[in-house]
A and B are shown apart, each in its own frame.
Chain A
Amino acid sequence: MRFAIAHAGLLTTGVISSAALAADPSLSNPALSLVLDGYYQTAERPMAERAEGFGLGETELAISASIDDMFYGKATAVFEDGEVNLEEAFIQTLALPEGFSVRAGRFMSDIGYLNNQHLHTDSFSDRPVAYRAFLGGHYFDDGVRLDYLAPTELYWSMGLEAFKGESLRAEDETGLREFDELGVLTAFTKLGGDFDESSSWLLGLSYLHNRNGSAGPHQEEAVAEDDHGGHQHNAGYTGENTLSAAFVYKWAPQGNYKYRHLTLSGEYFRVSGIQDAEPDLRDYHQGWYLSGAYQLSPSWSVAARYGELDAVDLEAEQLQKLKETELSLAWHHSHFSTVRLQYTHQQGTHFDALSDDNILTLQYVMSLGAHGAHQF
């Protein structure tokens, strides 16, 4: 129940500072937070949600609290151009024995490294191209997860998830395919620890089995890489099996994150079993990125990222390649406000949607209300 107290305490440091809340936050006060994200950009990135010109990113309203001493609950609504989507609405156990916990409802899958992190914590305006291609930017879905944390000195966690899998279904232009309602199963493990006082690491391996990911035998028109039909969060490239590996390294002088710190991370995805028919080219897509972010001072941070997508266009029967080199500079007035200038250079092979090779994005991300703890 102390969860609720802590969160309610956070709440009182936010804009909702009615005397009643602040004086004695009670257990029934949930944490309430709002993330504001606005931008201007000179062109569009393939498969990204942000359009050219002025726009809003995900405006995110979240409520969370302990429900009782056994359950924690959270809901996150995302407002996007006249739509309201629930990105999270889950419960999680707080008191299962032996390091087990269960999460159920709608939540972000724990595969990969970035996927379980909220978009507003990223160092760039959009997810790496591998995420946009294979996971629809970030993969959240309706399902259930079982987590286990081993009682080891080294951090060692394992998890299994089952999801509906609608957003990862292969394109079905005939509309006749009967998709499996239990579409996605995942398994992942993460290892982590400290090298020394200043630096820490995390390694992750995950496997995603998608029963609806393989394009049907008679539908060679199965892939649509430039789907602008609203904010579907659908993956443009799907397959039966997705394997991914991730690493994260963080450093701060003497482990003091107050002024300067460095984060290096990278992920690799390989999506195979992309069609049931005999492959004309090859039967897998792959993508990866490497990213480095450096906080120079409490007010300034810089980041660089390089990513590639190497995919098969089933319809045109050709290989597609996209390379992205990105640089960002961010100014932080406090922990709660960021203004970012980002430059992207993109090089595509067989990507019709590429309108410009160079993109500038000016973005703000600000949060008000409760500001929950971030993941490593």
Chain B
Amino acid sequence: MRINSKLLGALLALSFGHSSMAMAALNIFACEPEYGALAKELAPGAKIYTATTAMQDPHQVQARPSLIAKMRQADLVACAGADLEIGWLPMLQMKSANAAVREGSDGLFFGADQVEPLDKLASVDRSMGDVHAKGNPHLQFDPERMLRVARAFSDRLKQLDPEAAADYEAAHADFAARWQAATTRWQAQAEPLKGKKVIAYHTTFRYLFNWLGISQEADLEPKPGLPPTSGHLASLVERAKAGDILAIVVASYQDERGARWLSDKTGVPVLILPASVGANDQSQDLFGLYDNVLAQLLGGK
């Protein structure tokens, strides 16, 4: 019950120390690593905090105290949206008492609001599993959509910090040029993947497969959000054995045991693809992420 006076002193120092150096650069809170990486490209001078890693399922994040403290100080919160963060973001907003990033504020940016998401549903029922009525929020593997998200994100940066508008514009022009060049290169590289078939854990790579012309023939989850069951996995053996499946694809934050089991039974290789930036050594930025995913898919051919 005794209050540690040293701790209290440190806290006071922290709090005063911070307020005196505020407003130097934008303080950006990114829900997922791809938005943290995008912020790094488009707002190089900003203070960027990424709330989750590529090893964490963004559907299931705890509204932990550290995230509330970070959001309290954010000028801009950048997230995937489409209800991906519905289990934690509203609690962070409520607890962080930061009017700049509440719903409807310019300081809240959702990637899924800037583009038309795939797989929007007219009506959903929980018996369908944990599906998103607003469409698939895992936009990070769609180069075309990401380019449009980048444009909107840059515009938002300019709106929030008009004095540095020229810097944001320059950063965007540089990023967009490199991204378009890379997209052309990736498309050429990925040509052999067109028409390939995979089995995957969830719809995490829906945009990647859509872009590359890969078809996801089956899902390791019996229903979205429900863990793979032995019965469901057994039902996939025959399909996997048909000889036309390129790989069993699992994201970095998904359990690979079901995929390994299916692979042992059928000989189809398992690919653990980075769910986002930072999942492996090669995926340290958005460009590296795409390079690594393509290299892995092409290697599994």
Residues on A lying within 8 angstroms of B by beta carbon are 1-7, 9-10, 12-15, 17-19, 22-23, 25, 66, 69, 72, 92, 94-97, 99-101, 147, 149-157, 190-194, 197, 200-202, 205, 243, 245, 250, 254-259, 297-299, 333-336, 368, 371-376
Are B63 and A254 neighbours in the complex by a CB distance under 8 Å? no
Residues of B within 8 A of A156 (CB): 11, 15, 69
Q: Which residues of B contact A336 (CB under 8 A)?
A: 126
Segment of B117-125, B143-151, B239-247 in the binding face: B117-125
Q: What is the interface of chain B mostly: helix, strand, loop, or mixed?
A: loop
A13 touches B59 (CB 8 A): no
Alpha-carbon separation in the docked complex, A150 to B97 (Å) = 10
Residues of B7-43 contacting chain A, CB below 8 A? 11, 14-15, 18-19, 22
User: Can you name the residue of chain B whose Cβ is closest to the Cβ of A147?
Assistant: B97
Known contacts A9-B86, A101-B97, A147-B97; A259 and B255 CB within 8 A of each other:
yes
Q: How far is the CB of B285 from chain A (nearest CB, A)?
A: 20
A residues near B15, Cβ cutoff 8 Å: 150-152, 156
A373 and B103 contact, CB distance less than 8 A = no
Once the chains bind, are B99 and A95 in contact (CB under 8 Å)?
yes
CA distance in complex: A234, B250 (Å): 52
Q: Is the CB of B60 within 8 A of A334?
A: no
Instruction: Report A359 CB to chain B, min CB distance, Å.
Output: 31
Establish whether residues A374 and B87, one from each chain, have CB atoms under 8 Å apart when the complex forms.
Answer: yes
Q: Which residues of B contact A (CB under 8 A)?
A: 1, 3, 11, 14-15, 18-19, 22, 52-53, 55-57, 59-66, 68-69, 72-73, 82-83, 86-99, 102-105, 108, 121-126, 129-134, 225-227, 253-255
**In the complex where A2-B102, A66-B103 touch, is A96 in contact with B131 (Cβ < 8 A)?**
no
User: Top 6 nearest A-B pairs by Cβ distance?
Assistant: A2-B103, A192-B65, A155-B65, A1-B104, A373-B91, A95-B99
CA distance A153 to B10 in the complex (A): 11
Asked if residues B126 and A95 are in contact (CB atoms below 8 Å), the reply is no
User: Do B97 and A152 touch (CB < 8 A)?
Assistant: no
Given contacts A6-B83, A6-B103, contact A200 B66 (CB under 8 A): yes
Contacting pair B103 A257 (CB below 8 A): no
Asked if B56 and A152 sit within 8 Å, CB to CB, the answer is: no
Most chain A beta-carbon contacts within 10 A, residue among B64, B88, B132: B64
Q: Looking at the complex, which one of B86, B89, B227 makes contact with A297 (CB distance below 8 Å)?
A: B227
| Cβ contacts A to B, 15 pairs, < 8 Å | A3-B93, A6-B83, A9-B86, A15-B126, A95-B99, A97-B99, A101-B97, A151-B15, A191-B65, A200-B62, A254-B56, A255-B55, A259-B255, A373-B87, A376-B65
* A374 and B86 alpha carbons, distance in the complex (Å): 10
CB-CB < 8 A to A374: which residues of B? 63, 87-88, 91
- Docked-complex contact B103 and A153, CB < 8 angstroms: no
Q: Which residues of B contact A2 (CB under 8 A)?
A: 102-105, 108
Q: Which residues of B contact A155 (CB under 8 A)?
A: 65-66, 68-69
Query: Once the chains bind, are A3 and B90 in contact (CB under 8 Å)?
Result: yes
Chain A residues with CB under 8 A of B3? 205
Please name all residues of chain A whose beta carbon is closer than 8 Å to the beta carbon of B88 when the two chains form the complex: 373-374
Closest chain-B Cβ to A100's Cβ sits at a distance in Å of: 6
Which residues of A are found within 8 Å of B131, using beta-carbon distances? 13
Which residues of chain A have C-beta atoms less than 8 A from B98's C-beta?
99
**Given A151-B18, A255-B55, CB of A9 within 8 Å of CB of B134:** yes
Bound complex: CA A66 to CA B99 (Å): 13
A154 and B69: CB pair below 8 A? Answer: yes
Report B161 CB to chain A, min CB distance, Å: 19
Q: What residue of chain A has the Cβ atom nearest to residue B253's Cβ?
A: A256
Contact between B103 and A3, CB atoms less than 8 A apart: yes
A-side contacts of B91, CB under 8 Å:
372-375
